[in-house]
Copies of this chain bind each other. A is one copy, B any other.
Amino acid sequence: MSGECRLYLVTGNKHKLEEAGAILEPYGIKLEQAPVTEKLEIQSESLVDIALYAARDAYRRIRLPLIVDDSGLFIEALKGFPGPYSSYVYKKIGYTGILKLMEGVENRRACFKTVAVLIHPPIEKVFIGETCGVISDTPRGMGGFGFDPIFIPDGHTMTYAEMPFEEKNKVSHRYKAFSQLGEWVRKSRIKCL
């Protein structure tokens, strides 16, 4: 790869665009918002299947090198719930609903996962970032979003929501997926716009 590489992120969320853009910048990638912002998401228990389907659908529509990502919180004692439906579940029952479901549950293991799919024909690559930890007993912290106030990553005592932005970004599932993608792009010889 030579010079700058422009890729498009399929999202309607400016905050997510900025966050991913900051992770990819050191790899010489300029991330821009794709001209489609709506993802076609299928129902599946697999984040990979959901992100792949959405990425292929978006590529058919815009024909530009793009990234689609999808994330979820997988709680062991709840058989992976809320998983791929984390944002829906968050909207409906919030983290208080999850804490209620976890009342009296001893096994508090959970993993946050992000899948990022890069489509740059003929290349189609899947990157997976995962950060495991435990569900806290009570919500703590004001930062982040979604289930961040109830998730404590391994090796830490603070929840995601208590961590300063830069610290969370060093351990986060989203950071892991996007930095792998950046690393791969830097090492590969794909032609960029």
Residues of A within 8 A of B (CB): 40-43, 45, 50, 78-83, 85, 88-89, 91-93, 97, 100-101, 103
Contact = CB atoms under 8 A, between A and B. Distances in A.
A103 B93 CA distance: 13
A41 B85 CA distance: 13
A82 B85 CA distance: 11
This chain: how many copies in the complex? Answer: 2
A38 to B, nearest CB: 11
A42 B40 contact: yes
A contacts with B: majority SS: mixed
A81 B78 CA distance: 16
Nearest to A104: B100
Nearest to A83: B92
A97 to B, nearest CB: 6
Given A93-B101, A97-B101, A100-B101, A43 B88 contact: yes
Contacts of A41: 42-43
Nearest to A50: B43
